[in-house]
Structure 1
Amino acid sequence: MSREALTDDVLGSMLVHGLRPTRVVIVDYDPQWPVRFAARAAELRHILGDRARLIEHVGSTSVPGLAAKPIIDIVVGIDDPDDEQAFIPDLEAAGYELRVREHGHRCLRIGDPDDQVNLHCYPPEDDEVRKYLIFRDRLRASDADRDLYERTKRKLAEREWPDVNYYAEAKWPVIREILVRGGWQE
C-alpha cells in the first residue's frame, strides 16, 4: 500500500487551520464512548437525512476494551464530499468545524474536550471507509492485535508531535499489518 509521504507542505495543503503541535493523551476504555457515538449518530441522521448513506463508529473508541484518545471518530458516507455546499453548511450550522479538505474527503470536528468528535466524510464505497471498518472489526475480534495496537499507541504518545497527523502516520506500519490480517487487499 503506497502512501504519500507526510510533510508539513502536504499537511498545509489539507489542514484548514494549519499544523497544531500536540501531545497525544491515551486513556483507558470508557463504556460511555458507544453512548456518545449513538447520540452523535442520531444527530447526524437528523442533520443530513438521506445524504448520510452510512454512519459508522470507527477508530479506537469503537473497540471495547481498547485505550484511546477520548475523541469519537465517525465516518459518514457522503456521495460527493467535494460538493461542500451539499452538506457542510448544515453541519457548520450544527456546530461542526471544517478541519481537513482533500479530494474525496472532508474532516470536521465538534465538541469540547469532554465530548470531541472527528467526523470523516467519504463516498460510502471508498477504500478508506472499507479500511476503517476492516480495522475496527479486526481489533474487536483479535486480542493480540488489539494489544499490539494499544502498545504502539501508548509508546508513540510518549512524545510531542508537530501535528496529530504525524502521530497517526507513525502508527501506519502496525495498522497495515492488522489490516492485512483482517483481510485487506489492495
Structure 2
Amino acid sequence: MHDSRTPRRPDVTTVELVGGVEPLRLQLRDYDERWPVVYREHERRIRRALAPADVDVEHIGSTAVPGLAAKPIVDIVVAVDDITAEEDYLDALLAAGYVLRVREPGHRLVRTPARDVHVHVYGRGDAAVGEYLLLRDHLRSHEEDRALYESTKRTLLSREWDDMNAYADAKTAVIEEIKRAACGGWPGSR
C-alpha cells in the first residue's frame, strides 16, 4: 500500500473543468428521505469499484442533513491514499458509470451522467474532508445555523447563475461563518 504522505508524482497544477461551464438550473427541494438511500446505494457502488483499496466514504453536503432543503444532488466524499495515483481509483470509478467533471490540485470530481450524484475524491488526511464533515455534523445538530444556511441558499438560488461553481463560491462566507461557530470561533457560538 502506498503511503499517502508521499505522492507518487506531482499533482495537477491547474483546474480542468471537463465539459466547460454549466449554467445552474436547479431549485432547492425540501429534504427528501430518499437521499440517504441514494447515498448508501452509491457508497456500495464506490466501495465495490475501489475494492480492495481502503477508502473512506461519507455522505456530505445538504442532502446529508435531515430537515435541510437542498439541490437534489447527493454529494459524497471519498478519501484515497494518494490523489495523484489516479490509476488506483479514477479508472475504476469511470468503469462504475461515473464521469469525470473536475480535475484540480488535491481534488477530483466524478458524477453520474444524470448529474444527481457528485463524488468528490481527496487524498486521505486532506483538510477539506474534515471541513465537509465538520459542517455536516454541525448543521445536523444546530437548527439556527441550518436555518441560516437554508435561507442563504434560497436567496442565492433566486438569482440566475451562469455557472454552478459561481453559486457554490457565493455560499462561502456563510459556510465559513458556520464552520467558525462549529469550532467555537466567534461570540455567541454554541
Considering the TM-score relative to the shorter chain, is it more than 0.5?
Answer: yes
Look up the equivalent residue of 1:142 and give its one-letter code: H
Partner of 1:123: 123
- Contact 2:24–2:164, Cα closer than 8 Å, also in 1: yes
2:19 pairs with 1:17: yes
Partner of 1:140: 140
Give me the whole-angstrom Cα distance separating, in 2, the residues matched to 1:122 and 1:13.
15
Partner of 2:166: 166
Deviations 1:116-174 (A, max 9, x none): 11000001211100000000001001000000000000110011111101000000000
- Contact 2:45–2:96, Cα closer than 8 Å, also in 1: no
TM-score (norm 2): 0.86
Give me the whole-angstrom Cα distance separating, in 2, the residues matched to 1:117 and 1:160.
22
Look up the equivalent residue of 2:82 and give its one-letter code: D
Point out where structure 2 has 5 or more consecutive residues left out of the alignment. Answer: 1-13, 186-190
Look up the equivalent residue of 1:28 and give its one-letter code: D
3-state DSSP of counterpart to 1:160: coil
TM-score (norm 1): 0.88
Q: 1:52 to 1:60 in 2, by over 3 A?
A: farther
Give me the whole-angstrom Cα distance separating, in 1, the residues matched to 2:184 and 2:46.
28
RMSD: 1.6
Give me the whole-angstrom Cα distance separating, in 1, the residues matched to 2:155 and 2:127.
28
Give me the whole-angstrom Cα distance separating, in 2, the residues matched to 1:51 and 1:105.
18
User: Deviation of residue 96 (structure 1)?
Assistant: 0.5
Q: 1:70 to 1:184 in 2, by over 3 A?
A: farther
Following TM superposition, where does structure 1 have runs of at least 4 consecutive aligned residues deviating by more than 6 angstroms? Answer: none
Look up the equivalent residue of 1:55 and give its one-letter code: V
Q: 1:52 to 1:69 in 2, by over 3 A?
A: farther
**What is the percentage of aligned positions where both structures have the same residue?**
47
Q: 1:142 to 1:25 in 2, by over 3 A?
A: same
Point out where structure 1 has 5 or more consecutive residues left out of the alignment. Answer: 1-11
- Contact 1:24–1:164, Cα closer than 8 Å, also in 2: no
Identify, as 1 or 2, the structure richer in helix.
1
User: Deviation of residue 184 (structure 1)?
Assistant: 7.9
- Contact 1:33–1:62, Cα closer than 8 Å, also in 2: yes
Number of equivalenced pairs: 172
Partner of 1:72: 74
- Contact 1:134–1:184, Cα closer than 8 Å, also in 2: no
Look up the equivalent residue of 2:17 and give its one-letter code: L
Alignment of 1:91-130 (within 5 A): 91-112=93-114, 116-130=116-130
User: Deviation of residue 18 (structure 1)?
Assistant: 1.1
Structure with larger Rg: 2
